[in-house]
């Protein structure tokens, strides 16, 4: 699609109900997509992808889970994740608590940042979005399946945490990019509308990490958020940017109490 056609579609979306974006899937398709703010991304997937996601043999996510389980007990660098933490099943709550403040009581870290810090403890180096970090994120989220998101302010540094949350909330409502839309224009005001080949969800962060068909690999919430910046033609923050962590905190607090259901497949 050309930029101008894209701009037209999004302009219509930002405008009124008289937009070219139908609430249903388009001519010939009777099913309307849901518009409920409390749904996870799976509710906006076509049946084929839901089936693939449930198919543990053929789902592309399976390979990542195998890899993550292998790294969890790999002690070739000295010690393994398992030698400090025990079996993955003991980590069920870990993914529910991020992002949270790091050891300095100021910086917000997400699960991937924690994995990076702990990789060093096993004598290995990694960087955000590399295969090893994504595979470990996948098994840690798998271990947390069905656990409820529970992102709470820490008692000792509550003010710093609230500042991050406030910045995230503000960014969520701030128009950005050449397209000049805020997150909320899509993910609150146009839930269930079709946009290009996608259907806009409420952006509840329950399903990460995600295997996006268009990426042909697993990706983190960090990468997905950067893709949304690019979608509105805004300057993309670099991986790990503090603004992405603030946004993630806001999304997690907004989704507190929802069950984690990742890793998952997306269009
Ligand atoms: C030498 C011991 C050690 C090793 C090895 C280790 N960790 Fe950790 N891990 C810790 C400590 C200590 C913490 C508490 C937070 C901190 O100090 O970073 C922690 C915290 C965590 C948490 C957050 C737990 C929670 O419930 O909030 C996760 C997730 C985690 N580690 C993952 C890993 C992964 C993945 C590996 C392997 C790459 C690993 N750890 C290897 C010591 C270790
Ligand atoms: C022009 C509309 C638009 C804007 C503006 C936008 N997004 Fe998105 N976003 C999408 C579409 C389309 C998808 C893919 C379908 C879906 O999951 O909602 C998506 C996906 C997501 C997802 C993944 C949901 C999942 O379950 O896989 C998150 C999280 C998200 N967006 C957050 C944000 C944030 C935060 C902002 C603001 C920085 C933002 N988006 C701005 C359209 C938009």
pLDDT digit string (tens) for 207-259? Answer: 999 999 999 999 999 999 999 999 999 999 999 999 999 999 999 999 999 99
Domain boundaries 61-143, corresponding CATH code: 1.10.760.10
Residue 174 contacts by C-beta under 8 Å, 6 or more apart in sequence? Answer: 182
228, 183 Cβ separation under 8 angstroms = yes
CATH class of 3-55+151-266: mainly alpha
State the chain's mean pLDDT as an integer.
91
- pLDDT over 70 percentage in the chain: 88
Q: Is 210 in the pocket of ligand 2 (CB under 6 A)?
A: yes
Please tell me the distance from the alpha carbon of residue 256 to that of residue 267, in angstroms, as a whole number.
25
The pLDDT score that the predictor gives to residue 7 is: 44
The tens digit of pLDDT for each residue in 108-130 reads: 999 999 999 999 999 999 999 99
11 has a pLDDT exceeding 70: no
At residue 99 the predicted structure's pLDDT band, cuts being 50, 70 and 90, is very high
For the chain, the structural domain boundaries read 3-55+151-266, 61-143
CA dihedral sign of residues 41, 42, 43, 46: positive
pLDDT tens for 47-63 read: 999 999 999 999 999 99
Closest by alpha carbon to 20, among 227, 201, 200, 196? 196
For residue 146, the 8-state DSSP code is T
Checking if the pLDDT of 30 tops 60, the result is: no
Please state the pTM of the whole predicted model: 0.93
In testing the pocket of ligand 1, which one of 65, 92, 115, 118 has its CB within 8 Å of the most ligand atoms? 118
């Amino acid at each position: 699609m050309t930029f101008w056609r894209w701009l037209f579609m999004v302009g219509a979306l930002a405008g009124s109900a008289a937009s070219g974006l139908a609430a249903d899937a388009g001519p010939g398709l009777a099913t309307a997509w849901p518009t409920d703010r409390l749904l996870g991304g799976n509710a906006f997937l076509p049946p084929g992808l839901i089936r693939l996601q449930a198919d543990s043999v053929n789902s592309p996510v399976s390979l990542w889970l195998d890899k993550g389980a292998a790294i969890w007990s790999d002690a070739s660098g000295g010690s393994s994740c398992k030698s400090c933490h025990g079996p993955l099943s003991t980590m069920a709550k870990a993914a529910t608590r991020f992002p949270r403040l790091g050891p300095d009581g100021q910086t917000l870290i997400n699960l991937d940042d924690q994995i990076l810090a702990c990789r060093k403890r096993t004598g290995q180096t990694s960087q955000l979005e590399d295969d090893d970090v994504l595979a470990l994120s996948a098994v840690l989220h798998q271990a947390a399946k069905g656990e409820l998101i529970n992102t709470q302010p820490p008692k000792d540094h509550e003010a710093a945490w609230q500042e991050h949350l406030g910045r995230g909330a503000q960014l969520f409502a701030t128009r950005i990019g050449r397209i000049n839309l805020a997150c909320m224009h899509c993910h609150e005001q146009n839930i269930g509308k079709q946009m290009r080949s996608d259907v806009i969800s409420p952006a509840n962060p329950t399903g990460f990490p995600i295997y996006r068909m268009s990426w042909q690999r697993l990706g983190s919430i960090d990468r997905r958020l950067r893709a949304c910046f690019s979608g509105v033609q805004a300057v993309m923050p670099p991986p790990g940017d503090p603004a992405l962590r603030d946004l993630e905190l806001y999304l997690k607090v907004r989704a507190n109490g929802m069950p984690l259901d990742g890793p998952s497949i997306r269009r």
